[in-house]
Amino acid sequence: MSPEPSPPPVRKTRSHIAANVRRLRKAKGLSQEALGEQASFHRTYVSQLERCKTNISIDRLEDLAVILEIELVDLILQPPADTEIVLKAPVKKSGKKTQKKARKKAANA
């Protein structure tokens, strides 16, 4: 028997960014929509960023740091202990065959 594969790594940096963006946005009294407008992002992009659902480029991180009046590194560092952190492992992409099997299984249940 072959050993079981190890679970995918948790993306800590993305989680730190998510928690720090949310914490710093709220500290500035900004809504997701207001931060999005200032950074030329859509509100849903800010929401996805704060929930670890999307990646962000270095350029966009710099934009957020300027708006939030912080250093870019402050977005990447581990947030304070009392900050809620969202940990999201990478999602495995499934092919069409897997999706068909899932639909059949759901239909037969």
pLDDT of 6-42, one tens digit each?
Answer: 666 667 899 999 999 999 999 999 999 999 999 999 9
pLDDT bucket at 100, cuts 50 / 70 / 90: low
Instruction: Kindly state the tokens that stand for 58.
Output: 């270095």
Query: How many C-beta atoms lie closer than 10 Å to residue 2's C-beta?
Result: 4
Share of the chain above pLDDT 70, in %: 72
Q: What is the pLDDT of residue 32?
A: 96
Q: Please indicate, yes or no, if residue 87 is contained in any of the structural domains.
A: yes
**Which range of residues forms the domain containing residue 36?**
12-108
Q: Please indicate, yes or no, if residue 54 is contained in any of the structural domains.
A: yes
Give me the helix-helix angle, 32-39 and 12-27, nearest 10°: 100
Q: What is the pLDDT of residue 82?
A: 80
Q: Please indicate, yes or no, if residue 1 is contained in any of the structural domains.
A: no
Q: For residues 31 and 37, give the distance between their C-alpha atoms in angstroms, rounded to a whole number.
A: 10
Give me the helix-helix angle, 58-68 and 12-27, nearest 10°: 30
Q: What is the pLDDT of residue 86?
A: 65
Q: Which amino acid is at 82?
A: D
Place of tokens 């059949």: 104
Looking at the 3D structure of the chain, how many domains does it have?
A: 1
Q: Please indicate, yes or no, if residue 7 is contained in any of the structural domains.
A: no
Q: For residues 15 and 36, give the distance between their C-alpha atoms in angstroms, rounded to a whole number.
A: 19
Q: What is the pLDDT of residue 101?
A: 65
User: Model's pTM, two decimal places?
Assistant: 0.69
DSSP calls for 27-69:
HTT--HHHHHHHHT--HHHHHHHHTT-S---HHHHHHHHHHHT
CATH number of the domain where residue 43 is located: 1.10.260.40
